[in-house]
Amino acid sequence: MIGFIVAGLVIGALARLLKPGKQHLGLLATLLLGLAGSVIGGTVASLLGTGDIFELNVLGFVVAVIAAVALIGVAEAVAGRRERHPVR
């Protein structure tokens, strides 16, 4: 479990480094997006037969970082939409 959290932080941090521009995300958001990316990466790697979902492998790691970058973009779009159109 601790390894899964550390992997999520590493994947989330790498995704934030690879995504251009400044992201307004905290540590918890980075962790959650990294964890979601690692689950997606593990699932894709498992479906391709390169390993188990909880097994660390190169393909799963690369897909996890790509998925986390995409999730950060989605999170920024959602957060930006909330800032521009406040609910009254």
User: What pLDDT, on a 0 to 100 scale, did the predictor assign at position 43?
Assistant: 85
Residue 56 or 30, more confident: 30
Cα–Cα separations (whole angstroms), residue 65 to 30, 71, 85: 12, 10, 30
Q: Are 13 and 30 in contact (CB under 8 A)?
A: yes
For 9-44, the pLDDT digits (tens) are 888 889 888 887 777 778 888 888 888 888 888 888
User: What pLDDT, on a 0 to 100 scale, did the predictor assign at position 85?
Assistant: 56
Q: What is the mean pLDDT of residues 46-70?
A: 82
**Pair of tokens at residue 76:** 């920024």
Q: Is the pLDDT of residue 87 over 70?
A: no
Task: Specify the residue for token string 């009254």.
Answer: 88
pTM score of the predicted model:
0.78
Q: 3-class SS at 14?
A: helix
3-class secondary structure per residue, 23-34: CCCCHHHHHHHH
User: What pLDDT, on a 0 to 100 scale, did the predictor assign at position 83?
Assistant: 59
Helix 27-47 and helix 2-18, axial crossing angle in degrees, nearest 10: 100
